[in-house]
Structure 1
Amino acid sequence: MNIVLTRIDNRLIHGQVAVTWCHHTNANLIVVVNDKVAKDEIRKNIMNMAVPPGVGVRYFTVDEAVLKLPKASPKQFIMLVVETPQDVLRLVEAGIPIKTVNVGNMHYSEGKVQISSTVSVSQDDIDTFKKLTSKGVKCIIQRVPTEKGVDIEELINNL
């Protein structure tokens, strides 16, 4: 399978992801992997409006993604979009070959600490990023391709 980008963004598909990152990575298929969203027709319909012409979109639960991603055509250049680092960890632990994660947006909420202008993490998120790092997955905060990425490990180790 040709995974050209794995992105954590709690907004999932929106203009920045769909246009900027698809163009930058030459992705021709966006796969949203999240158990709740895969069953939410309203959210899927709203996100479909942001997908550029010529780019396909699929919505899978984590379990569906684990079964279907290995069957992807070599002509599909896949951008995985997930809502949480926990979704990425489940994919990695199930054998999906993810080596780098682009961390785009994780909104602040009670119990989280802000580590960059667009990323706030809970203790569970920190633990999950550490597990990903221990499995050889590099997690880089980067909103857009023109921005210099920051390794999340450097930021969470300073907490």
Structure 2
Amino acid sequence: MSEPNIVLTRIDNRLVHGQVGVVWTSSIGANLLLVANDDTANDPLQQELMEATAESSGVGIRFWTIEKTINNIHRASARQKIFIIVRTPEDARKLIEGGVPIDNLNIGNMHFSEGKRQITKQAYMDDKDISDLKVCAAKGASVYVQEVPEDKKQPLEEVI
């Protein structure tokens, strides 16, 4: 089995929306969006909304559980330029610990919720989020905040 061509992995609570499905996808040259999230993999309504965004960008889209992603990512064709989108740092950590070769982990939108503090303009995290991100970095992923492609990358260690 060959290494899958994962061009970017992004944490975004909103998963696939205009910014991810259009701006990021075209900027990185992806031709397949892979939403790796257990809840979304089992939610046809969420999938339908995200499929419309992918279709408007002319790219394929898949909705897989974390486990299915771990078990199947290495079967990807070399011509697939895969953009993985996860909802949480925990999802990203599980993928990396499961052997998914994630080199670049982009932190996008992480909404405020109880117990989370503002880290950047668009990212709110609690101690578990930070711990999960540190594990990803320790396992070799370049972890950084970058809201849109034009923004400068802010390495994790500069924002936490």
TM-score of the superposition, structure 2-length normalised?
0.94
Aligned-residue CA RMSD in angstroms? 0.9
Aligned match for 1:82, one of 86, 90, 111? 86
1:111-136 deviation per Cα after TM superposition (whole angstroms, max 9, x unaligned): 00101000000111011111112112
Q: Does 1:123 align with 2:123?
A: no
**Long gaps (5+) in structure 2:** none
- Per the alignment, residue 5 of structure 2 pairs with 2
Instruction: Give the length in aligned residue pairs.
Output: 156
Q: Say whether the 8 Å CA contact 2:21–2:53 is kept in structure 1.
A: yes
For 1:18-97, what aligned pairs fall within 5 Å after superposition? 18-51=21-54, 52-97=56-101
- Per the alignment, residue 140 of structure 1 pairs with 144
**Long gaps (5+) in structure 1:** none
- Per the alignment, residue 14 of structure 1 pairs with 17
Distance in structure 1 (CA, Å) of the matches to 2:132 and 2:27: 27
TM-score of the superposition, structure 1-length normalised?
0.95
Q: Which moved more, 1:92-101 or 1:56-65?
A: 92-101
Identity value in percent: 43
Partner of 2:79: helix, strand, or coil?
coil
Q: Structure 1 residue 53: deviation in Å?
A: 4.1
